[in-house]
């Protein structure tokens, strides 16, 4: 549950304003299935999230994204809100089944026209469009053919990337291939708490590899089709993993979770190889024969920056009994999203928590950013998601006051500033999220937005955090006082 005075870890609110570098990009972000609605308009076909959310028992209260926040029809209003706030960039995702309904073959020009209108509307207001090609909405027809555990899905994704690049490449300068492939692979095919809801640990590792391969193939397509000055990236929800104690067994538990949380993606994407210890740790699950000669070279494509999503740290220990993973913060399931890590237990980190039950700890963001700089010193970073869900409501006077979120944002932005001062090349920050929306398996019961949405009327109400964020943007850094 939300608390009135969240802990801000090692980065308390500064006594004076903290200025960010000139040109620092201030943005906000959303995902197609969470906001668009119009699930059956203009030829759009079901994605895995349409099917999953319509399956009884999968999503709280039986909520679906059929209408969501109706962004498909209300995008001019949403752009006007962003313009009023002064945000410099809007990171949105493209719905694959809206653009290519079967996941292969014919293209829907009506679907592409929606994103052309959205992009043009942003540019007219001086807001930089930032496109994410995949935020979890795989066309159901591709899932029926095997989904991400099948190699062919990687090639279908690259084809789709080329379609969107051809349509928007003359006006979009910043591109992201995948958003949080860890969730797609391990929550979708391991624990089953995300679409498509499968629970096979070997398939989750196959999916991870084919997401990696799809990323590499898509980067090649984007480079071939986009202007030379376009920026290409991927967004990872890198886990900041800590040991419960300094016992060597707990330290090794950190290594093991770091392997299947982070290095299974950063290894091939950034270093050109899967880590040997990850392959060894998961050898009882799969023999990795799905990795073909040349795959890691295809995955290892140059990036212009790395998108980093962060919400809360992860606390683990060695465990010698039955598998324990219910406190990992990723949803309850009888199946683990951590292949090869049954001897690791997850613990609730101490401190105040958001409505998601995630501990508020900005120090984890600082430590994560400095670690990425140590491992990849020449790679610029962008905070592509950071934010918090609280139990927001509209007061009788019509205002939505969310001081908890302001405290959360202040603490985490102070951590980003501290990382920059320590030499980390962070180029921008995207607040998650612009709007309250469909929060995946939690339905409409969790509110991450800086803009409140009354789902019955679709009325938008900027929260006090939105007004705070607008002031931050105007001043180029954290205000001295709220």
DSSP one-letter code for 442: G
- Residues 157 and 114 sit within 8 Å (Cβ to Cβ): no
Range list of H helices, 231-285? 248-258, 264-266, 276-281
Secondary structure class of 105 (helix, strand, coil): coil
- The whole-angstrom separation of Cα 23 and Cα 45 is 40
Backbone angles phi, psi at 146, to 5 degrees: 125, -20
Of 73, 88, 166, give the one whose Cα is nearest residue 118: 73
Question: 175 pairs with which residues across the strands?
Answer: 131, 232
Of 158, 294, 152, give the one whose Cα is nearest residue 215: 158
Rounded alpha-carbon distances, angstroms, from residue 300 to 336, 387, 437:
28, 30, 34
Range list of H helices, 301-453? 362-375, 403-421
Give the DSSP letter string of 46-89: -BHHHHHHTSTTSSGGG--SSSTT-HHHHHHHHHHHHHHHT-SE
What amino acid positions are annotated as catalytic residues? 180, 385
- Residues 1 and 356 sit within 8 Å (Cβ to Cβ): no
- The whole-angstrom separation of Cα 323 and Cα 307 is 32
- Report angle CA 30, 32, 335 to the nearest 5 degrees: 90
Token pair, residue 58, equals 């999968």
Of 89, 88, 19, give the one whose Cα is nearest residue 417: 19
Backbone angles phi, psi at 156, to 5 degrees: -65, -35
Specify the pairing of strand 18-19 against strand 477-478.
antiparallel
Token pair, residue 201, equals 């640990």
DSSP E strands in 310-400: the ranges are 314-318, 344-347, 381-386
- The whole-angstrom separation of Cα 129 and Cα 469 is 19
């Amino acid at each position: 549950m939300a608390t009135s005075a969240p802990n801000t870890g090692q980065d308390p609110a500064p006594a004076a304003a903290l200025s960010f570098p000139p040109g620092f990009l201030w943005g906000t972000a959303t995902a197609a299935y969470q906001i668009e609605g119009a699930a059956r308009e203009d030829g759009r076909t079901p994605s895995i999230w349409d099917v999953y959310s319509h399956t009884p028992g999968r999503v709280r209260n039986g909520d679906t994204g059929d209408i969501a926040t109706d962004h498909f029809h209300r995008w001019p209003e949403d752009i006007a809100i962003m313009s009023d706030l002064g945000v410099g960039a809007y990171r949105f995702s493209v719905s694959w089944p809206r653009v290519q309904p079967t996941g292969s073959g014919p293209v829907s020009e009506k679907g592409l026209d929606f994103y052309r209108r959205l992009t043009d509307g942003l540019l007219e207001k001086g807001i930089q469009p930032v496109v994410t090609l995949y935020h979890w909405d795989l066309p159901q027809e591709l899932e029926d053919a095997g989904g991400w555990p099948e190699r062919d899905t990687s090639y279908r994704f690259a084809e789709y990337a080329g379609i969107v690049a051809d349509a928007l490449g003359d006006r979009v300068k910043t591109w992201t291939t995948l958003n949080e492939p860890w969730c797609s692979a391990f929550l979708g095919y391991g624990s089953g708490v995300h679409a498509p809801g499968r629970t096979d640990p070997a398939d989750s590792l196959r999916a991870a590899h084919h997401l990696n391969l799809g990323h590499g193939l898509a980067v090649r397509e984007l480079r071939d089709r986009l202007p030379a000055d376009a920026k290409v990236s991927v967004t990872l929800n890198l886990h900041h993993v800590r040991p419960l104690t300094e016992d060597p067994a707990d330290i090794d538990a950190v290594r093991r979770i770091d392997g299947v949380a982070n290095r299974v993606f950063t290894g091939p994407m950034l270093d050109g190889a899967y880590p040997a210890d990850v392959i060894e740790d998961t050898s009882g699950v799969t023999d990795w024969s799905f990795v073909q000669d040349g795959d890691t070279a295809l995955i290892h494509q140059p990036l212009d920056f790395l998108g980093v999503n962060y919400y809360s740290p992860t606390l683990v220990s060695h465990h010698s009994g039955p598998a324990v993973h219910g406190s990992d913060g990723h949803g309850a399931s009888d199946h683990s999203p951590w292949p090869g890590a049954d001897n690791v237990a997850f613990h609730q980190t101490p401190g105040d928590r958001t409505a998601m039950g995630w501990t508020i700890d900005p120090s984890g963001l600082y430590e994560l950013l400095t670690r990425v700089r140590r491992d990849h010193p020449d790679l610029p970073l962008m905070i592509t998601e950071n934010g918090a869900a609280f139990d927001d409501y509209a007061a009788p006077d019509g205002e939505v006051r969310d001081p908890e979120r302001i405290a959360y944002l202040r603490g985490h932005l102070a951590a980003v500033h501290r990382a920059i001062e320590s030499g980390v090349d962070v180029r921008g920050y995207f607040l998650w999220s612009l709007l309250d929306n469909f929060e995946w398996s939690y339905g409409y019961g969790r509110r991450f937005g800086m803009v409140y949405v009354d789902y019955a009327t679709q009325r938008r109400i900027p929260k006090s955090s939105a007004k705070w964020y607008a002031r931050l943007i105007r001043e180029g850094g954290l205000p001295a006082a709220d």
